[in-house]
């Protein structure tokens, strides 16, 4: 009698496993690909910080504006960090580097890749916005390869650093009569 009851349940276990396996595989692969995207986010964040830090210490010209060498050095540091040693290769990438000088105002943006200056939005606290600073935005499109579909996710990282390099002496504004 026991053998006959046990034989009735053997097929039920196989059916339950067949029903649960696709959901389990989706969860496992979802966690794995989320880990890849998170690793990319951390790599881009670190490269944005490195670029902002270099820009914050690299000298500007005598008028307080960044030079072509300044922008080239910051772009090179970001490129080496995010897309060279980190293994992200020559994938489509977007880089915005902005500088706000001692006079304040809006950043002087330079971009690399298929990004427009209007898309270079970096949040800055009011305390930092009043001082010379560097803003960096780095983005990359990451394909998340699921079993059923491959959606593209745009991963964005930003960094802001106060400018600590040598600034030229600006003339004092003349008092109004």
Mean pLDDT of the chain: 81
Q: Give the integer Cα–Cα distance in Å for 155 and 149.
A: 18
pLDDT tens figures, 136-167 = 999 888 777 766 777 888 889 999 998 887 66
Q: Give the integer Cα–Cα distance in Å for 149 and 130.
A: 46
* pLDDT in the model for residue 2: 60
Higher pLDDT, 17 or 92: 17
Burial of 58 (0-12, 13-18, 19+ CB in 10 A): buried
Domain ranges of the chain: 2-162
* pLDDT in the model for residue 149: 75
- Whether 22 has a pLDDT exceeding 80, the answer reads yes
**0.85 exceeded by pTM:** no
Q: Give the integer Cα–Cα distance in Å for 3 and 156.
A: 61
């Amino acid at each position: 009698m026991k053998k006959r009851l046990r034989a009735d349940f053997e097929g039920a276990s196989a059916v339950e496993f067949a029903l649960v396996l696709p959901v389990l595989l989706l969860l496992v692969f979802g966690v794995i690909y989320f880990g890849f995207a998170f690793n990319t986010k951390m790599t881009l964040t670190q490269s944005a910080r490195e670029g902002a830090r270099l820009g914050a210490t690299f000298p500007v010209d005598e008028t307080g504006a960044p030079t072509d060498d300044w922008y080239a050095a910051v772009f090179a540091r970001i490129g080496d960090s995010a897309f060279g040693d980190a293994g992200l290769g020559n994938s489509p990438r977007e880089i915005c580097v902005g500088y706000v000088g001692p006079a304040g105002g809006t950043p002087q943006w330079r971009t690399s890749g298929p990004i427009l200056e209007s898309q270079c939005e970096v949040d800055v606290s009011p305390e930092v916005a009043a001082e010379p600073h560097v803003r960096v935005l780095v983005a990359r499109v990451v394909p998340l390869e699921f079993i059923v579909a491959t959606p593209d996710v745009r991963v964005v990282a930003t960094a802001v650093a106060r400018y600590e390099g040598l600034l030229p002496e600006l003339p004092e504004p003349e008092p109004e009569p």
